[in-house]
Chains A and B, each alone.
Chain A
Amino acid sequence: MSAAFVHGVGTSRFGRQPGVGAPSLVQQAVTEALDDAGVDDVRELDAVFAGTVFGAPGTAQRALQLLGITGVPILTFENACATSSTALHEARHAVLSGRFGRVLCLGVETMTLHFSGPITPEETDAEGRAGLALPGVYAMVASRYEHLYGLEPKALAAVSVKNRRHGALNPRAQHGAEVTAEEVLASRMVADPLTLLQCCDISDAATAAVIGGERGVGRDVRIAASALRSGELWDHRSTHPWGYELMAGVAADAWHEAGIGPGDVDVFEVHDAFTIGEITATEALGITEPGGGCDLVLSGHTALGGRQPVNPSGGLLSRGHPLGATGLAQVAEAVWQLRGEAGARQVEGARVAAVETMGGGTAGIDGNGCVVVVLGG
Protein backbone atom coordinates (compact mmCIF):
# COMPACT_ATOMS: atom_id res chain seq x y z
CA MET A 1 0.00 0.00 0.00
CA SER A 2 1.55 3.31 -1.04
CA ALA A 3 -0.71 5.58 0.97
CA ALA A 4 -3.41 5.38 3.60
CA PHE A 5 -6.55 7.47 3.49
CA VAL A 6 -9.18 8.71 5.90
CA HIS A 7 -12.41 7.27 4.51
CA GLY A 8 -14.71 8.80 7.09
CA VAL A 9 -14.86 10.64 10.40
CA GLY A 10 -17.42 11.15 13.14
CA THR A 11 -17.83 12.50 16.64
CA SER A 12 -20.31 12.39 19.46
CA ARG A 13 -21.57 15.54 21.05
CA PHE A 14 -18.90 17.23 23.23
CA GLY A 15 -19.72 18.35 26.75
CA ARG A 16 -20.01 17.50 30.39
CA GLN A 17 -22.62 14.80 30.00
CA PRO A 18 -22.14 12.40 32.92
CA GLY A 19 -25.37 10.53 32.32
CA VAL A 20 -24.52 9.49 28.77
CA GLY A 21 -21.75 6.92 29.14
CA ALA A 22 -19.11 5.56 26.81
CA PRO A 23 -21.30 3.06 24.92
CA SER A 24 -23.66 5.82 23.80
CA LEU A 25 -20.86 8.26 22.92
CA VAL A 26 -19.04 5.57 20.94
CA GLN A 27 -22.18 4.66 19.03
CA GLN A 28 -22.70 8.31 18.05
CA ALA A 29 -19.15 8.75 16.80
CA VAL A 30 -18.76 5.38 15.06
CA THR A 31 -22.17 5.53 13.37
CA GLU A 32 -21.31 8.91 11.88
CA ALA A 33 -17.83 7.75 10.81
CA LEU A 34 -19.12 4.56 9.16
CA ASP A 35 -21.89 6.46 7.35
CA ASP A 36 -19.33 9.08 6.30
CA ALA A 37 -17.04 6.34 4.97
CA GLY A 38 -19.86 4.56 3.21
CA VAL A 39 -19.29 1.40 5.23
CA ASP A 40 -22.61 -0.44 5.26
CA ASP A 41 -21.33 -3.71 6.71
CA VAL A 42 -19.11 -3.69 9.79
CA ARG A 43 -17.52 -6.90 8.49
CA GLU A 44 -15.60 -4.58 6.15
CA LEU A 45 -13.57 -3.54 9.21
CA ASP A 46 -10.47 -5.64 9.86
CA ALA A 47 -9.49 -4.18 13.23
CA VAL A 48 -10.25 -1.44 15.72
CA PHE A 49 -7.50 0.75 17.18
CA ALA A 50 -9.14 2.43 20.14
CA GLY A 51 -7.87 4.85 22.74
CA THR A 52 -8.88 6.01 26.18
CA VAL A 53 -6.85 7.48 29.03
CA PHE A 54 -9.12 7.06 32.04
CA GLY A 55 -11.57 4.51 30.65
CA ALA A 56 -12.14 1.23 32.45
CA PRO A 57 -10.63 -1.99 31.08
CA GLY A 58 -12.79 -3.20 28.21
CA THR A 59 -14.26 0.21 27.45
CA ALA A 60 -13.90 -0.25 23.67
CA GLN A 61 -15.22 -3.83 23.55
CA ARG A 62 -18.13 -2.94 25.84
CA ALA A 63 -19.25 -0.22 23.44
CA LEU A 64 -18.35 -1.77 20.08
CA GLN A 65 -20.42 -4.93 20.61
CA LEU A 66 -23.51 -2.70 20.52
CA LEU A 67 -22.55 -1.74 16.98
CA GLY A 68 -22.01 -5.37 16.02
CA ILE A 69 -18.25 -4.81 15.85
CA THR A 70 -16.96 -8.06 17.35
CA GLY A 71 -14.50 -10.77 16.47
CA VAL A 72 -11.87 -8.53 14.86
CA PRO A 73 -8.80 -7.55 16.89
CA ILE A 74 -9.61 -4.59 19.14
CA LEU A 75 -6.52 -2.89 20.55
CA THR A 76 -6.60 -0.06 23.09
CA PHE A 77 -3.88 2.58 23.23
CA GLU A 78 -3.02 5.09 25.95
CA ASN A 79 -0.73 8.04 25.26
CA ALA A 80 -2.21 10.81 27.41
CA CYS A 81 -3.74 13.61 25.32
CA ALA A 82 -2.21 12.10 22.17
CA THR A 83 -4.03 8.79 22.68
CA SER A 84 -6.31 8.68 19.65
CA SER A 85 -3.72 10.42 17.45
CA THR A 86 -1.44 7.55 18.37
CA ALA A 87 -4.17 5.08 17.39
CA LEU A 88 -4.49 6.83 14.02
CA HIS A 89 -0.73 6.80 13.45
CA GLU A 90 -0.57 3.09 14.21
CA ALA A 91 -3.65 2.33 12.10
CA ARG A 92 -2.09 4.10 9.18
CA HIS A 93 1.03 1.97 9.45
CA ALA A 94 -1.06 -1.17 9.83
CA VAL A 95 -2.76 -0.30 6.53
CA LEU A 96 0.49 0.69 4.82
CA SER A 97 2.12 -2.57 5.85
CA GLY A 98 -0.80 -4.61 4.57
CA ARG A 99 -1.56 -6.07 7.98
CA PHE A 100 -5.10 -4.74 7.88
CA GLY A 101 -7.14 -3.48 4.93
CA ARG A 102 -9.40 -1.18 6.89
CA VAL A 103 -9.11 -0.03 10.51
CA LEU A 104 -11.65 1.80 12.64
CA CYS A 105 -9.94 4.30 14.95
CA LEU A 106 -11.80 5.30 18.07
CA GLY A 107 -11.18 7.70 20.94
CA VAL A 108 -13.45 7.85 23.96
CA GLU A 109 -13.35 9.58 27.33
CA THR A 110 -15.96 9.99 30.06
CA MET A 111 -14.10 12.45 32.22
CA THR A 112 -16.97 13.57 34.42
CA LEU A 113 -17.11 9.98 35.67
CA HIS A 114 -13.64 10.42 37.17
CA PHE A 115 -13.28 14.12 37.97
CA SER A 116 -15.60 16.76 39.41
CA GLY A 117 -13.15 19.52 38.49
CA PRO A 118 -9.73 19.59 36.85
CA ILE A 119 -7.79 16.36 36.33
CA THR A 120 -6.14 15.41 39.61
CA PRO A 121 -2.40 14.76 39.28
CA GLU A 122 -1.05 11.23 39.37
CA GLU A 123 0.08 10.27 42.87
CA THR A 124 2.71 7.81 41.65
CA ASP A 125 4.43 10.65 39.78
CA ALA A 126 7.10 12.64 41.66
CA GLU A 127 5.76 15.99 40.51
CA GLY A 128 2.11 14.97 40.44
CA ARG A 129 2.42 13.91 44.08
CA ALA A 130 3.95 17.32 44.83
CA GLY A 131 0.82 19.01 43.49
CA LEU A 132 1.89 19.96 39.98
CA ALA A 133 -1.48 19.65 38.25
CA LEU A 134 -1.61 20.02 34.45
CA PRO A 135 -2.38 23.75 34.52
CA GLY A 136 0.81 24.03 36.56
CA VAL A 137 2.80 22.10 33.95
CA TYR A 138 1.72 24.58 31.27
CA ALA A 139 2.15 27.53 33.62
CA MET A 140 5.76 26.42 34.04
CA VAL A 141 6.02 26.45 30.24
CA ALA A 142 4.78 30.04 30.27
CA SER A 143 7.23 30.97 33.03
CA ARG A 144 10.19 29.52 31.17
CA TYR A 145 9.00 30.97 27.85
CA GLU A 146 8.72 34.42 29.39
CA HIS A 147 12.24 34.08 30.77
CA LEU A 148 13.63 33.16 27.34
CA TYR A 149 11.63 35.38 25.01
CA GLY A 150 9.28 37.63 26.97
CA LEU A 151 5.56 36.92 27.13
CA GLU A 152 2.84 39.52 27.23
CA PRO A 153 -0.49 38.55 28.79
CA LYS A 154 -2.25 40.03 25.74
CA ALA A 155 -0.67 37.35 23.53
CA LEU A 156 -1.97 34.58 25.78
CA ALA A 157 -5.39 36.22 25.79
CA ALA A 158 -5.33 36.52 21.99
CA VAL A 159 -5.11 32.73 21.65
CA SER A 160 -8.23 32.25 23.77
CA VAL A 161 -10.14 35.05 22.04
CA LYS A 162 -9.27 33.68 18.59
CA ASN A 163 -10.07 30.05 19.31
CA ARG A 164 -13.32 30.82 21.10
CA ARG A 165 -14.32 33.07 18.19
CA HIS A 166 -13.65 30.13 15.87
CA GLY A 167 -15.53 27.78 18.19
CA ALA A 168 -18.58 30.02 18.06
CA LEU A 169 -18.82 28.91 14.43
CA ASN A 170 -18.58 25.22 15.35
CA PRO A 171 -21.89 23.61 16.33
CA ARG A 172 -19.98 20.74 18.00
CA ALA A 173 -18.03 23.02 20.36
CA GLN A 174 -18.58 22.56 24.09
CA HIS A 175 -18.05 26.27 24.77
CA GLY A 176 -19.43 28.22 21.85
CA ALA A 177 -19.34 31.66 23.45
CA GLU A 178 -17.01 34.40 22.27
CA VAL A 179 -14.88 36.21 24.86
CA THR A 180 -12.90 39.44 24.94
CA ALA A 181 -9.24 39.77 25.91
CA GLU A 182 -10.33 41.72 28.97
CA GLU A 183 -12.64 38.90 30.04
CA VAL A 184 -9.88 36.33 29.52
CA LEU A 185 -7.38 38.23 31.64
CA ALA A 186 -9.94 39.10 34.32
CA SER A 187 -11.11 35.50 34.74
CA ARG A 188 -9.96 33.62 37.83
CA MET A 189 -6.23 32.87 38.01
CA VAL A 190 -5.64 29.12 37.82
CA ALA A 191 -1.85 28.90 37.68
CA ASP A 192 0.10 32.11 37.13
CA PRO A 193 -0.08 33.46 34.42
CA LEU A 194 -2.86 31.21 33.09
CA THR A 195 -6.42 32.32 33.86
CA LEU A 196 -9.53 30.14 33.71
CA LEU A 197 -10.48 31.20 30.17
CA GLN A 198 -7.00 30.13 29.03
CA CYS A 199 -7.64 26.54 30.13
CA CYS A 200 -9.61 23.88 28.27
CA ASP A 201 -12.53 22.19 29.98
CA ILE A 202 -12.87 18.49 30.65
CA SER A 203 -15.36 16.76 28.38
CA ASP A 204 -17.24 13.54 27.74
CA ALA A 205 -17.04 12.56 24.09
CA ALA A 206 -16.07 9.96 21.51
CA THR A 207 -14.47 10.39 18.11
CA ALA A 208 -13.87 7.98 15.24
CA ALA A 209 -12.18 7.65 11.88
CA VAL A 210 -12.09 4.90 9.27
CA ILE A 211 -8.63 4.39 7.80
CA GLY A 212 -7.95 2.36 4.68
CA GLY A 213 -6.23 2.24 1.34
CA GLU A 214 -6.85 4.17 -1.84
CA ARG A 215 -10.28 3.35 -3.30
CA GLY A 216 -10.77 6.18 -5.79
CA VAL A 217 -13.35 8.03 -3.75
CA GLY A 218 -12.94 11.78 -4.11
CA ARG A 219 -13.92 12.63 -0.55
CA ASP A 220 -11.26 10.35 0.93
CA VAL A 221 -8.39 12.32 2.43
CA ARG A 222 -4.83 11.12 1.96
CA ILE A 223 -2.61 10.88 5.02
CA ALA A 224 0.55 12.42 3.62
CA ALA A 225 2.62 11.78 6.74
CA SER A 226 2.37 10.95 10.40
CA ALA A 227 5.00 10.90 13.09
CA LEU A 228 5.06 9.82 16.72
CA ARG A 229 7.66 10.05 19.46
CA SER A 230 7.76 10.02 23.22
CA GLY A 231 9.76 12.61 25.11
CA GLU A 232 13.47 12.48 25.85
CA LEU A 233 14.76 13.01 29.38
CA TRP A 234 13.88 16.57 30.40
CA ASP A 235 16.13 17.48 33.30
CA HIS A 236 18.78 19.85 34.67
CA ARG A 237 20.42 19.98 31.22
CA SER A 238 17.28 21.29 29.50
CA THR A 239 16.87 24.87 28.44
CA HIS A 240 13.59 24.77 26.50
CA PRO A 241 10.11 24.76 28.04
CA TRP A 242 8.47 21.39 28.51
CA GLY A 243 7.36 19.74 25.28
CA TYR A 244 9.11 22.10 22.91
CA GLU A 245 11.86 19.79 21.72
CA LEU A 246 9.49 16.83 21.46
CA MET A 247 7.00 18.76 19.33
CA ALA A 248 9.79 20.15 17.14
CA GLY A 249 11.33 16.73 16.62
CA VAL A 250 8.04 15.06 15.70
CA ALA A 251 7.13 17.94 13.39
CA ALA A 252 10.50 17.66 11.63
CA ASP A 253 9.85 13.93 11.10
CA ALA A 254 6.41 14.67 9.64
CA TRP A 255 7.60 17.45 7.30
CA HIS A 256 10.41 15.20 6.09
CA GLU A 257 8.05 12.35 5.30
CA ALA A 258 5.47 14.60 3.66
CA GLY A 259 8.12 16.36 1.59
CA ILE A 260 6.68 19.75 2.48
CA GLY A 261 7.23 22.36 5.15
CA PRO A 262 4.98 24.31 7.49
CA GLY A 263 4.71 27.13 4.97
CA ASP A 264 2.86 24.77 2.61
CA VAL A 265 0.06 24.07 5.10
CA ASP A 266 -3.27 25.87 4.73
CA VAL A 267 -4.82 25.01 8.08
CA PHE A 268 -3.61 23.63 11.42
CA GLU A 269 -5.27 21.96 14.39
CA VAL A 270 -2.85 22.12 17.34
CA HIS A 271 -2.88 21.22 21.00
CA ASP A 272 -4.16 24.33 22.79
CA ALA A 273 -5.09 22.65 26.08
CA PHE A 274 -3.77 25.91 27.55
CA THR A 275 -3.10 29.12 25.61
CA ILE A 276 0.67 28.90 25.97
CA GLY A 277 0.50 25.45 24.34
CA GLU A 278 -0.64 26.93 21.04
CA ILE A 279 2.13 29.55 21.14
CA THR A 280 4.87 26.97 21.66
CA ALA A 281 3.27 24.53 19.19
CA THR A 282 3.20 27.08 16.38
CA GLU A 283 6.91 27.66 16.95
CA ALA A 284 7.79 23.98 17.25
CA LEU A 285 5.89 23.22 14.04
CA GLY A 286 8.01 25.85 12.33
CA ILE A 287 5.21 28.26 11.39
CA THR A 288 7.38 30.90 13.03
CA GLU A 289 10.78 31.05 14.70
CA PRO A 290 11.31 30.35 18.42
CA GLY A 291 9.97 33.35 20.30
CA GLY A 292 7.76 34.38 17.38
CA GLY A 293 4.56 32.72 18.55
CA CYS A 294 3.14 35.78 20.27
CA ASP A 295 3.53 38.02 17.24
CA LEU A 296 2.06 35.24 15.10
CA VAL A 297 -1.25 35.19 16.97
CA LEU A 298 -1.35 38.96 17.57
CA SER A 299 -0.83 39.62 13.85
CA GLY A 300 -3.91 37.62 12.84
CA HIS A 301 -1.82 35.17 10.79
CA THR A 302 -3.44 32.24 12.62
CA ALA A 303 -7.03 33.54 12.71
CA LEU A 304 -9.74 32.55 10.26
CA GLY A 305 -9.20 34.89 7.34
CA GLY A 306 -5.47 34.99 8.06
CA ARG A 307 -2.73 33.37 6.02
CA GLN A 308 -2.61 30.10 8.05
CA PRO A 309 -5.56 29.60 10.41
CA VAL A 310 -4.77 27.60 13.53
CA ASN A 311 -7.60 25.77 15.32
CA PRO A 312 -10.56 26.81 13.12
CA SER A 313 -12.60 24.26 15.12
CA GLY A 314 -12.12 26.36 18.24
CA GLY A 315 -9.41 24.01 19.45
CA LEU A 316 -9.44 22.29 22.79
CA LEU A 317 -10.20 25.66 24.43
CA SER A 318 -13.61 25.85 22.77
CA ARG A 319 -14.41 22.30 21.66
CA GLY A 320 -13.49 20.81 25.06
CA HIS A 321 -10.82 18.25 25.84
CA PRO A 322 -12.00 14.64 26.22
CA LEU A 323 -8.39 13.42 26.50
CA GLY A 324 -8.42 10.15 24.61
CA ALA A 325 -10.88 11.49 22.04
CA THR A 326 -9.16 14.78 21.26
CA GLY A 327 -6.68 13.66 18.60
CA LEU A 328 -9.35 12.25 16.31
CA ALA A 329 -11.47 15.36 16.90
CA GLN A 330 -8.58 17.37 15.47
CA VAL A 331 -8.29 14.95 12.55
CA ALA A 332 -12.03 15.16 11.89
CA GLU A 333 -11.80 18.94 11.67
CA ALA A 334 -8.88 18.67 9.25
CA VAL A 335 -10.85 16.24 7.08
CA TRP A 336 -13.90 18.52 7.01
CA GLN A 337 -11.70 21.48 6.12
CA LEU A 338 -10.02 19.64 3.25
CA ARG A 339 -13.36 18.45 1.86
CA GLY A 340 -14.86 21.95 2.11
CA GLU A 341 -17.44 20.74 4.63
CA ALA A 342 -16.52 23.02 7.54
CA GLY A 343 -19.43 25.43 7.13
CA ALA A 344 -19.05 28.92 8.58
CA ARG A 345 -15.50 28.21 9.74
CA GLN A 346 -14.30 26.90 6.35
CA VAL A 347 -10.77 27.90 5.37
CA GLU A 348 -11.27 28.75 1.71
CA GLY A 349 -9.38 26.51 -0.67
CA ALA A 350 -7.69 24.44 2.06
CA ARG A 351 -5.65 21.70 0.39
CA VAL A 352 -3.14 20.70 3.08
CA ALA A 353 -3.82 20.38 6.80
CA ALA A 354 -1.62 19.47 9.75
CA VAL A 355 -2.65 18.17 13.16
CA GLU A 356 -0.47 18.25 16.28
CA THR A 357 -1.40 16.51 19.55
CA MET A 358 0.78 16.70 22.65
CA GLY A 359 0.34 14.34 25.56
CA GLY A 360 1.94 14.87 28.92
CA GLY A 361 1.85 14.65 32.64
CA THR A 362 4.83 12.43 33.41
CA ALA A 363 7.67 14.09 35.33
CA GLY A 364 11.21 13.79 34.02
CA ILE A 365 10.52 13.57 30.29
CA ASP A 366 9.65 16.11 27.62
CA GLY A 367 6.16 14.67 27.11
CA ASN A 368 4.43 11.28 27.18
CA GLY A 369 3.94 11.39 23.43
CA CYS A 370 3.42 13.75 20.53
CA VAL A 371 1.85 13.06 17.15
CA VAL A 372 1.92 15.22 14.02
CA VAL A 373 -0.25 14.21 11.06
CA VAL A 374 -0.18 15.84 7.63
CA LEU A 375 -3.32 15.40 5.52
CA GLY A 376 -4.23 16.18 1.95
CA GLY A 377 -1.90 17.65 -0.63
Chain B
Amino acid sequence: MSTTTGDPRPRVRTGPDGVAVLGWRCTGCGYPVAQAVLRCPLCRGPVAESAFSPEGEVWASTCLRVRVPGHTPPYAVAYVVLDDGPRVLVHTPGDRPLPPSTRARVTGTSGTGDLLAVPAGEES
Protein backbone atom coordinates (compact mmCIF):
# COMPACT_ATOMS: atom_id res chain seq x y z
CA MET B 1 0.00 0.00 0.00
CA SER B 2 3.02 2.21 0.36
CA THR B 3 3.75 4.92 -2.14
CA THR B 4 7.04 5.84 -0.50
CA THR B 5 10.13 4.80 -2.42
CA GLY B 6 12.82 4.86 0.28
CA ASP B 7 11.81 2.75 3.24
CA PRO B 8 13.01 4.62 6.37
CA ARG B 9 12.78 1.62 8.70
CA PRO B 10 15.92 -0.14 9.99
CA ARG B 11 17.08 -3.18 8.06
CA VAL B 12 18.36 -6.54 9.30
CA ARG B 13 20.83 -9.08 7.94
CA THR B 14 20.32 -12.79 8.52
CA GLY B 15 23.47 -14.88 8.24
CA PRO B 16 25.09 -17.99 9.71
CA ASP B 17 25.64 -16.08 12.98
CA GLY B 18 22.00 -15.17 13.22
CA VAL B 19 20.27 -11.83 12.85
CA ALA B 20 21.96 -8.43 13.04
CA VAL B 21 20.33 -5.00 12.90
CA LEU B 22 22.10 -2.87 10.31
CA GLY B 23 23.05 0.75 10.70
CA TRP B 24 25.98 3.11 11.10
CA ARG B 25 28.44 3.94 13.87
CA CYS B 26 30.62 6.97 14.28
CA THR B 27 34.29 6.03 13.97
CA GLY B 28 35.14 8.94 16.28
CA CYS B 29 32.70 9.01 19.21
CA GLY B 30 31.04 5.62 18.67
CA TYR B 31 27.49 6.97 18.34
CA PRO B 32 25.23 4.26 16.84
CA VAL B 33 22.37 5.11 14.53
CA ALA B 34 19.90 3.01 12.55
CA GLN B 35 18.91 5.80 10.14
CA ALA B 36 21.10 6.43 7.10
CA VAL B 37 23.59 9.21 7.90
CA LEU B 38 26.54 10.64 5.98
CA ARG B 39 28.24 11.97 9.11
CA CYS B 40 27.78 11.51 12.85
CA PRO B 41 24.87 13.67 14.10
CA LEU B 42 26.75 14.27 17.37
CA CYS B 43 30.31 15.12 16.31
CA ARG B 44 30.17 15.28 12.48
CA GLY B 45 32.81 12.55 12.44
CA PRO B 46 32.90 9.89 9.71
CA VAL B 47 30.58 6.92 10.08
CA ALA B 48 31.01 3.30 9.05
CA GLU B 49 28.36 0.72 8.28
CA SER B 50 27.76 -1.42 11.33
CA ALA B 51 25.89 -4.55 12.38
CA PHE B 52 24.34 -4.25 15.82
CA SER B 53 23.43 -6.94 18.32
CA PRO B 54 19.83 -8.12 17.91
CA GLU B 55 19.43 -8.23 21.69
CA GLY B 56 18.52 -5.42 23.99
CA GLU B 57 16.17 -4.12 26.65
CA VAL B 58 12.61 -2.89 26.28
CA TRP B 59 12.45 0.85 27.07
CA ALA B 60 8.70 1.40 26.66
CA SER B 61 5.85 -0.41 24.93
CA THR B 62 2.19 -0.33 23.98
CA CYS B 63 -0.40 -2.08 21.85
CA LEU B 64 -2.13 -0.17 19.05
CA ARG B 65 -5.79 -1.09 18.75
CA VAL B 66 -6.87 1.36 16.05
CA ARG B 67 -6.77 1.20 12.29
CA VAL B 68 -3.45 2.36 10.88
CA PRO B 69 -2.79 2.04 7.14
CA GLY B 70 -0.65 -1.00 6.39
CA HIS B 71 -1.12 -2.53 9.83
CA THR B 72 -3.81 -4.77 11.27
CA PRO B 73 -4.80 -4.06 14.87
CA PRO B 74 -4.17 -5.07 17.51
CA TYR B 75 -0.38 -4.99 17.29
CA ALA B 76 2.11 -4.60 20.13
CA VAL B 77 5.19 -2.42 19.67
CA ALA B 78 8.18 -1.61 21.83
CA TYR B 79 11.23 0.58 21.88
CA VAL B 80 14.22 -1.71 22.37
CA VAL B 81 17.65 -0.31 23.24
CA LEU B 82 20.00 -2.72 21.47
CA ASP B 83 23.11 -3.75 23.42
CA ASP B 84 25.80 -1.20 22.52
CA GLY B 85 23.50 -0.07 19.72
CA PRO B 86 20.69 2.32 18.83
CA ARG B 87 17.13 2.28 20.11
CA VAL B 88 14.74 0.75 17.56
CA LEU B 89 10.99 0.36 17.29
CA VAL B 90 9.94 -3.28 17.02
CA HIS B 91 6.72 -5.24 16.74
CA THR B 92 6.25 -8.02 19.31
CA PRO B 93 3.90 -11.02 19.21
CA GLY B 94 0.30 -10.87 20.37
CA ASP B 95 -1.45 -7.95 21.98
CA ARG B 96 0.31 -7.91 25.36
CA PRO B 97 3.13 -5.31 25.23
CA LEU B 98 6.46 -6.47 26.70
CA PRO B 99 7.03 -4.50 29.92
CA PRO B 100 9.97 -2.08 30.17
CA SER B 101 13.23 -3.77 31.30
CA THR B 102 12.28 -7.02 29.56
CA ARG B 103 15.15 -8.49 27.52
CA ALA B 104 14.16 -8.83 23.87
CA ARG B 105 15.72 -10.12 20.68
CA VAL B 106 15.14 -8.97 17.11
CA THR B 107 14.30 -11.98 14.94
CA GLY B 108 13.88 -10.37 11.54
CA THR B 109 11.36 -8.29 9.67
CA SER B 110 7.70 -8.88 8.89
CA GLY B 111 6.42 -9.34 5.37
CA THR B 112 5.59 -5.65 5.34
CA GLY B 113 9.02 -4.58 6.58
CA ASP B 114 8.59 -3.98 10.32
CA LEU B 115 11.29 -5.13 12.74
CA LEU B 116 10.08 -8.14 14.76
CA ALA B 117 11.26 -9.07 18.24
CA VAL B 118 10.46 -11.65 20.90
CA PRO B 119 11.38 -11.93 24.57
CA ALA B 120 15.06 -12.97 24.72
CA GLY B 121 15.37 -16.70 25.32
CA GLU B 122 12.15 -17.48 23.46
CA GLU B 123 12.21 -19.12 20.08
CA SER B 124 10.99 -16.94 17.23
B62 at the interface (CB under 8 A from A): yes
Which secondary structure dominates where chain A touches chain B? loop
A residues in contact with B97, CB < 8 Å: 143, 192
Q: Which residues of A in the span 233-260 have a Cβ within 8 Å of any Cβ on B?
A: 233, 235-236, 238, 241
Residues from chain B with Cβ under 8 Å of A233 in the complex: 41-42
Minimum CB–CB distance for A204 against chain B, Å = 20
**Interface footprint category on A:** 35 or more
**Closest residue on chain A to residue B100 by CB atoms:** A147
Return chain B residues, CB-CB under 8 Å to A309.
none
B107 shortest CB reach to chain A, Å: 15
Q: How long is the Cα–Cα vector from A53 to B67 in the complex, in angstroms? A: 22
**Cβ distance B102 to chain A, nearest Cβ, rounded Å:** 11
Interface string of A120-148 (1 = CB under 8 A from B): 11011111011111011001111110110
The answer to whether the Cβ of B115 comes within 8 Å of any Cβ in the partner chain is yes
Say if the beta carbon of A99 comes within 8 Å of chain B: no
Interface size on B, residues (CB 8 A): 44
For the complex, what is the distance from the CA of A144 to the CA of B99, rounded to whole Å?
9
A129 touches B66 (CB 8 A): no
**CB atoms of A130 and B60 under 8 A apart:** no
What B residues does A364 contact at CB under 8 A? 35
Q: Which A residues lie within 8 Å of B16 (CB)?
A: none
Across the interface, A130 reaches (CB within 8 A) one of B3, B4, B89, namely: B89
For the complex, what is the distance from the CA of A140 to the CA of B97, rounded to whole Å?
A: 10
Q: How far is the CA of A146 from the CA of B101 in the complex (A)?
A: 12
The reply to whether A135 and B59 form a contact with Cβ atoms under 8 Å apart is no
* Residues of chain A with a CB closer than 8 A to B3's CB: 123
A238 nearest in chain B by CB position: B87
Contact between B65 and A188 (Cβ–Cβ < 8 Å)?
Answer: yes
**Is B85 within 8 A of A130, CB to CB?**
no
For the complex formed, measure the closest distance between the CB of A241 and the CB atoms of chain B, giving whole angstroms.
Answer: 7
Whether A23 is near chain B, meaning CB under 8 Å from some CB there, is no
Is residue A190 within 8 Å, beta carbon to beta carbon, of the partner chain? yes
B41 CB contacts on chain A under 8 angstroms: 233
**B60 and A131 contacting across the interface, CB-CB below 8 Å:** no
Q: Are A235 and B60 in contact (CB under 8 A)?
A: no
Residue of B nearest to A141 (CB): B60
Determine whether the beta carbon of B9 is less than 8 Å from that of A126.
yes
B9 adjacent to A191 (CB under 8 Å): no
Chain B residues within 8 Å of A363, by CB = 89
Q: A125-B8, A136-B77, A147-B100 are in contact. Are A236 and B32 (CB under 8 A)?
A: yes
Q: Which residues of A contact B45 (CB under 8 A)?
A: none
- Give residues in A with beta carbon < 8 Å to B: 117-118, 120-121, 123-127, 129-133, 135-136, 139-144, 146-147, 188-193, 233, 235-236, 238, 241, 363-364
The contact sample of 6 A-B pairs, CB cut-off 8 A, is A126-B34, A129-B2, A131-B91, A139-B62, A143-B100, A147-B100
In order of increasing CB-CB distance, the 7 nearest A-B pairs are: A139-B62, A147-B100, A131-B71, A144-B60, A143-B60, A126-B8, A236-B87
